[in-house]
């Protein structure tokens, strides 16, 4: 792929509602979409709790956007991020967005960006982010899982089986099962794994990284409810129970 073919991606960071530890794994994920040429972090960096962003912004070439608190208990970060995102949208030079935040206030923004056909990846804490924002994004990825995954790579300690026990729940099984039912299946009940994954992604902000896995095949292979079969260079999956 040439430089001209690379899509232009913007990463907008709500520094008040996310961790700087997630920057490296988030940028790795965003590279799937294209070249992250716009990187901006918004917040009142005069606050002590945002002091760690100082070194991060320089290390990763992130442009800090200082937003002073105009009223006690309120901040201007949400509005500034939204205005900048809409400006970028109407300039027509951005092909996709990453929004790092666990704040539901960005739900209308994600919805609006997607209405123009742009891909929007959301990054936030799974247990803190409202479902509305998760669903509004093309993909919502648990930033805590990304950070943990990066840590596991540095000091490997978990097997796929151990991961599956702690991360896979009935809701995920039903999501993948419904996608499998909707997919084209052969006479033995097998469907192409890629199609099942796409259907699951269309129904929700499903992403295997939220469950501690890098590949869809690793996730399916860890689940007792499904059987995986390889045929030449293609993987197929069948629900067993």
* Confidence at residue 123, expressed as pLDDT on a 0 to 100 scale: 94
CB-side neighbour CA atoms (13 Å) of 117: 3
- Tokens 């129970």 belong to residue: 241
Topology of 8-151 in CATH? Rossmann fold (3.40.50)
Q: Determine phi and psi for 73, rounding to 5 degrees.
A: 85, -5
* Confidence at residue 10, expressed as pLDDT on a 0 to 100 scale: 96
List where CATH 3.40.50.1010 sits in the chain. 8-151
* Confidence at residue 152, expressed as pLDDT on a 0 to 100 scale: 58
Q: With bands split at pLDDT 50, 70 and 90, how would you rate the model's confidence at 164?
A: very low
Q: With bands split at pLDDT 50, 70 and 90, how would you rate the model's confidence at 126?
A: confident
The 10s digit of each residue's pLDDT in 139-162 is 999 999 888 876 655 444 445 445
The 10s digit of each residue's pLDDT in 13-70 is 999 888 888 999 899 889 888 899 999 999 888 888 788 888 888 889 999 998 887 6
The 10s digit of each residue's pLDDT in 174-193 is 888 888 988 899 999 999 99
* Confidence at residue 116, expressed as pLDDT on a 0 to 100 scale: 94
Q: What does the alpha-carbon distance between residue 14 and residue 76 come to, in Å, rounded to a whole number?
A: 11
**Summary mean pLDDT of the chain:** 84
CATH number among 3.40.50.300, 3.30.465.10, 2.40.110.10, 3.30.420.610, domain 159-239: 3.30.420.610
The 10s digit of each residue's pLDDT in 64-123 is 998 887 655 456 788 899 999 999 999 998 999 999 999 989 999 999 999 999 999 999
Contact 74, 81 (CB under 8 A): no
Q: What does the alpha-carbon distance between residue 195 and residue 193 come to, in Å, rounded to a whole number?
A: 5
List where CATH 3.30.420.610 sits in the chain. 159-239
Q: The pTM is what?
A: 0.74
């Amino acid at each position: 792929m040439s430089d001209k073919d690379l899509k232009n991606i913007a990463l907008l960071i709500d520094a008040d509602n996310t961790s700087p530890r997630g920057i490296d794994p988030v940028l790795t994920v965003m590279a799937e979409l294209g070249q992250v040429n716009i990187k901006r972090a918004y917040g009142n960096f005069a606050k002590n709790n945002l002091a760690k962003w100082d070194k991060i912004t320089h290390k990763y070439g992130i442009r800090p956007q200082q937003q002073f608190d105009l009223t006690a208990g309120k901040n201007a970060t949400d509005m500034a991020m939204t205005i900048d995102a809409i400006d970028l949208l109407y300039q027509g030079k951005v092909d996709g967005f990453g929004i790092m935040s666990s704040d539901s206030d960005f739900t209308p923004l994600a919805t609006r960006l997607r209405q123009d056909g742009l891909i929007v990846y959301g990054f936030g804490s799974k247990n803190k982010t409202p479902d509305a924002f998760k669903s509004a994004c093309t993909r919502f990825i648990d930033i805590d899982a990304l950070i943990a995954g990066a840590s596991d790579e540095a000091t490997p300690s978990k097997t796929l089986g151990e991961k599956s026990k702690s991360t896979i729940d009935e809701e995920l099984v039903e999501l993948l099962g419904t996608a499998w039912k909707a997919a084209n299946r052969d006479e033995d009940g097998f469907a192409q794994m890629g199609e099942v994954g796409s259907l699951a992604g269309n129904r929700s902000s499903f992403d295997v990284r939220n469950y501690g896995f890098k590949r869809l095949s690793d996730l399916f292979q860890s689940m007792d409810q499904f059987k995986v079969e390889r045929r030449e260079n293609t993987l197929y999956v069948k629900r067993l129970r």
